[in-house]
A and B are shown apart, each in its own frame.
Chain A
Amino acid sequence: MESNPRAKAGAHRLRPLNTPARVQLRVEAGGPSAVLQRGRWRRVDHVEEVWRVDDGWWRLSPVARTYFRLALETGHLITLYHDDVEGTWWAQSY
């Protein structure tokens, strides 16, 4: 993930797009129940889809994620994932 796009001096690099952003949410029964958006908690109406992405398990930093496409009470659809390695939650369009 890109920590600071302009910090690197000397060597330049490819900057990945669509990098995930940290998100705060409440979890109930193993799944997200509410998401904090612009300072307000939005209740999750239902989970549209769940899928897993496991990649690079042969590398030094493997990727193991569980993605959730959620329908919020406001009608908006958002995509989040749970980082199964670090145990953190992130928002990322898929």
Chain B
Amino acid sequence: MVGCLLISSFPLACELADHEELRGSPCAVIDENSRVEAVSVAAEAYGVHPGQTAREAIGRCPGLAALETRPARYDLIWEEIRVAVEEVAFTVEAASAGVIYVAVDELLTCYRTLDAAIKALLGCAPQTLEPRVGVAPSRFTAMLAARQARANGSDVVGQEELSAFLAPQPVQALPVSVETLRRLRVLGLQTLDELRALPRSALAAQFGPEGDLAWQLASGTDCEPLRPQRRCVQLVEQLSLETPLSGRQPLLVAWEQTLSRLLRQRGFHGLAARQAELRAATERDRQWSRVVTFKEPLADFRQMWSALRAALDEALFPGPLSELSIELRGLGPAQGHQLALPSARSTMRSRLEEGLRQLKARYGYCPVGRVVEVEPWNRIPERRLALIDFDP
């Protein structure tokens, strides 16, 4: 049996969790291109649907509450849910934001009853997001069951009731291309019952592999196994800012310090990273993120900082930042590079760093700091200069 944890219209669910007063009213999430990304049921009644321009949506529904998309926040919430599900279940496949599949049979060895397993799955997502769980013999059916379940509830479809459950479902629910759905509609096929009544070979001949897949899904005979995501080794370093920073220069100092700390982590020793994700949050919890993919795996601070700085120079943050973090991904063994002969300056620096390392070993922390200008023009004295760890 497969379980599906579903959060319908995930971006909208995240926004409604933060704006309880909008629940039940017509509202839509607008993406960065001023197009509708997700709509509430009340807005759908006015003819608002995803893909429309914001202007058209507001024209159709003058009382529409238009919410600006916050993809970094949605990613953060989804990541928390995914991690929570992985702690509950063994085989987990995150299909997309808001849809996650688990192997329910494995859960029964821990939770004894199906109800307890479903309750554990529902507990992985905040109730304000209104998660639903569907359990069925296949992934597609589990998702349909989850769609039919009430908010914070579940629906279970057994093997014996599978055929009856699938029969009235609309063909538009099939995970096939828009063109295939359009042709099915033109052919007058409304339900899965009508679809599966056709010969499988005829559907395959007409629609190719998608036709064959559609027939299997409609018949409940699809048995594609769950594909758990490969676990990636990741390293993260975070910096908390006492007072939110907005100046470009102090922010660069803060990012540089965070990267420096990250590369000094014990787990990074002897490794190189292919990708870095920069994340930031404002004091009002607005999120920002940017993924930087390196041209080659990098282990050197200067090369990595050069790549990240180029991205940061172009970045537009959503406000003064209070939290920064850098995550390195795609870690692999570092390749050797020919080094230059040491100069007198670098020798002095290495001696200084060695001395600081000894101090750190003795006291457990590095007692030496570096004074950096944060906002020298600020009228509040304690925001002008800051001490940052000089971490060898």
> Could you tell me the distance between the alpha carbons of A2 and B369 in the complex, rounded to whole angstroms?
15
State how many angstroms separate the Cβ of A38 from the closest Cβ of chain B. Answer: 23
CB distance A17 to B379 under 8 Å? no
Residues of A within 8 A of B374 (CB): 14, 16
Residue of A at shortest CB range from B283?
A: A60
Known interface pairs A53-B380, A59-B244. Does A14 touch B386 (Cβ–Cβ under 8 Å)?
A: yes
Residues of B within 8 A of A65 (CB): 380
Residues of A within 8 A of B261 (CB): 12
Give the number of residues in B that approach A within 8 Å (Cβ atoms).
31
CB distance B382 to A20 under 8 Å? yes
CB distance B387 to A14 under 8 Å? yes
CB distance A93 to B381 under 8 Å? yes
State how many angstroms separate the Cβ of A10 from the closest Cβ of chain B. Answer: 7
Contact bitstring A41-73, B, C-beta under 8 A = 1, else 0 = 000000000000101000110010100000000
Residue of B at shortest CB range from A12?
A: B389
Q: Which residues of B, 206-249, contact A by the 8 Å Cβ criterion?
A: 238-244
Interface centre among A10, A18, A63, by most B CB within 10 Å? A18
> Could you tell me the distance between the alpha carbons of A19 and B379 in the complex, rounded to whole angstroms?
13
User: At the interface, yes or no: B112 with Cβ under 8 Å from chain A?
Assistant: no
> Could you tell me the distance between the alpha carbons of A55 and B380 in the complex, rounded to whole angstroms?
8
Interface of A is mostly: loop
User: At the interface, yes or no: A92 with Cβ under 8 Å from chain B?
Assistant: yes
CB distance A11 to B380 under 8 Å? no
CB distance A18 to B385 under 8 Å? yes
CB distance A13 to B381 under 8 Å? no
Residues of A within 8 A of B283 (CB): 59-60
Residues of B within 8 A of A20 (CB): 381-382
CB distance B239 to A12 under 8 Å? yes
Other-chain residue from B320, B365, B383 in contact with A16 (beta carbon distance below 8 A): B383
> Could you tell me the distance between the alpha carbons of A59 and B257 in the complex, rounded to whole angstroms?
26
CB distance A14 to B381 under 8 Å? no
State how many angstroms separate the Cβ of B102 from the closest Cβ of chain A. Answer: 30
CB distance A11 to B240 under 8 Å? yes
> Could you tell me the distance between the alpha carbons of A42 and B242 in the complex, rounded to whole angstroms?
34
> Could you tell me the distance between the alpha carbons of A8 and B239 in the complex, rounded to whole angstroms?
11
> Could you tell me the distance between the alpha carbons of A59 and B371 in the complex, rounded to whole angstroms?
26
State how many angstroms separate the Cβ of A32 from the closest Cβ of chain B. Answer: 19
User: At the interface, yes or no: A6 with Cβ under 8 Å from chain B?
Assistant: yes
CB distance A13 to B369 under 8 Å? no
> Could you tell me the distance between the alpha carbons of A63 and B382 in the complex, rounded to whole angstroms?
12
Residue of B at shortest CB range from A19?
A: B382
CB distance B379 to A53 under 8 Å? yes
> Could you tell me the distance between the alpha carbons of A13 and B244 in the complex, rounded to whole angstroms?
12
User: At the interface, yes or no: B254 with Cβ under 8 Å from chain A?
Assistant: yes
CB distance B242 to A15 under 8 Å? yes
Residues of A within 8 A of B386 (CB): 14-17
Q: Which residues of B, 151-172, contact A by the 8 Å Cβ criterion?
A: none
Instruction: Pick 15 A–B contacts, CB within 8 A, sort by A.
Output: A1-B382, A11-B240, A14-B254, A14-B372, A14-B387, A16-B386, A17-B382, A17-B385, A17-B386, A18-B382, A18-B384, A18-B385, A20-B382, A59-B320, A63-B380
The 4 closest A-B pairs by CB, nearest first: A14-B386, A11-B238, A17-B385, A16-B382
In the complex, besides A8-B240, A14-B239, 6 extra interface pairs with C-beta distance below 8 angstroms are A10-B238, A15-B369, A16-B243, A16-B385, A17-B386, A18-B381
